[in-house]
Amino acid sequence: YQTIYRIPVVVHIVHNGEAVGSGANISYAQIQSQIEVLNEDFRRRIGSNGFNENEAGADTLIEFFLATEDPNGSALEEPGIDRVDGGRSEWPKGFLRNPIETSLKPFTIWDPEKYFNIWTVNFGGFASRDLLGYAQFPDESGLPGLNVDNGPDNTDGIVIGYKYFGSSEKGNFPDMIAPYDLGRTTTHEVGHWLGLRHIWGDGDCTYDDYCLDTPLSAEPSYGCPVDKITCTELEMIENYMDYTDDGCMNVFTLDQMDRMHTVLETCPRRKEL
Ligand code: ARG
Ligand code: ZN
Ligand code: CA
């Protein structure tokens, strides 16, 4: 028997007054499809897209569930959901990412020691490609590589573009955009939230992600490249912490699992065992 970390989630669905199920006011089914993907990926579930036969591949023993109670202890009509009229159609994502960081998150966050906070927003159009999502790193773990992108408690969590939240294999979600429509943006950002760095270490072959079982790489990979080597070894382009297409990813490694467990054991965030 192994201990499973079970993480209660609240999804703040940030919309602009649309009816439930249209535009940024995404349906409950779309939220559920994303929670299923997280559990398939973090548990390396057999028969799902999250399964792999990589010898370094891990069942991380981490699971996610939609919270059943709000911060006052009242039952939620839609478990794990907080629908927020943010009063704007697009949320700019400049370098400082205001106003998401300065107003949206602090005003809507649920106690980050009791809930894992996820916000879905419309980031708005961008010339080449939308930002898909971003995360705030944990900072109490003492692990190497986490002295960047930290923030105050009242912005803890991840932000995901609503067009990339969920899986179009699990329902009819017409606004989702391939090849980022299988829920792996959220898997990737949860990896950051639990202390994982990018697979290429955000630098050339001298930069690492502090995991020995992920080969060095000099750059992010896009698409689904075959036999790619930029340093000395075959790259693990199927790792969730790369930038490859959603359908190309299916691995967290054992060393990545260890980092995530260290974060869960040292940071004052809620988990049930
Ligand atoms: N923060 C990254 C971005 O916006 C996330 C990339 C996730 N990759 C994916 N295949 N879903 O580019
Ligand atoms: Zn990333
Ligand atoms: Ca490595």
pLDDT, tens only, 61-106: 999 999 999 999 999 999 999 999 999 999 987 665 678 999 999 9
Q: Are strands 62-66 and 158-161 parallel, antiparallel or unpaired?
A: unpaired
Q: How far apart are CA 123 and CA 130, in angstroms?
A: 7
Which whole-number Å values give the CA distances from 45 to 42, 53, 72, 136, 257, in the listed order?
Answer: 8, 11, 34, 27, 15
Which residues are near ligand 1 (CB < 6 Å)? 131-134, 180, 184-185, 188, 243-246
Q: Following DSSP, what letter does each residue of 83-148 receive, concatenated?
A: EEE-S-S-----TT-TTIIIIIHHHH---TTT-EEEEEE-----SS----EEE----SS--TT-SS
- pLDDT value at residue 128: 53
Compute φ and ψ for 232, nearest 5 degrees.
-120, -20
Region at 136 (left for phi over 0; alpha for psi -120 to 50; beta for the rest) = beta
Which of 81 and 139 is assigned the larger pLDDT?
81
Name the residue of 38, 91, 158, 185 whose CB sits within 8 Å of the most ligand 1 atoms, as the mutation to test its pocket.
185
Active-site residue list = 189
pLDDT tier, 268 (very low <50, low <70, confident <90, very high otherwise): confident
- pLDDT value at residue 126: 57
User: 53-72 pLDDT, tens per residue?
Assistant: 999 999 999 999 999 999 99
Among all bound ligands, the one having the nearest atom to the CA of 192 is: 2
- pLDDT value at residue 136: 93
Evaluate whether 119 touches 159 at the Cβ level (below 8 Å): yes
Considering just the CA atoms, what is the radius of gyration of the chain in Å? 18
- pLDDT value at residue 273: 43
Average pLDDT over every residue of 36-50: 98
> Which atom of ligand 1 sits closest to the CA of residue 246?
10
- pLDDT value at residue 169: 98
Q: Are strands 133-135 and 158-161 parallel, antiparallel or unpaired?
A: antiparallel
pLDDT tier, 129 (very low <50, low <70, confident <90, very high otherwise): low
- pLDDT value at residue 234: 97
Ligand 3 centre to CA of 209 (Å) is: 5
Instruction: Work out the angle between the directed axes of helices 28-42 and 184-193 (0-180°, nearest 10).
Output: 60
Task: Give the closest residue (by CA) to ligand 1 atom 4.
Answer: 132
Work out the angle at residue 191's Cα, subtended by the Cα atoms of residues 188 and 196, and round it to the nearest 5 degrees.
Answer: 120
Name the residue type at position 34: Q
Name the residue of 243, 245, 251 whose CB sits within 8 Å of the most ligand 1 atoms, as the mutation to test its pocket.
243
* Three-state secondary structure call for residue 249: coil
- pLDDT value at residue 238: 98
Average pLDDT over every residue of 219-226: 98
ipTM over the 0.90 cut-off: yes
Q: Is the pLDDT of residue 203 over 60?
A: yes
Mean model confidence pLDDT for the chain: 93
Token pair in block for residue 243: 């930038």
Q: Is the pLDDT of residue 272 over 60?
A: no
Average pLDDT over every residue of 44-49: 98
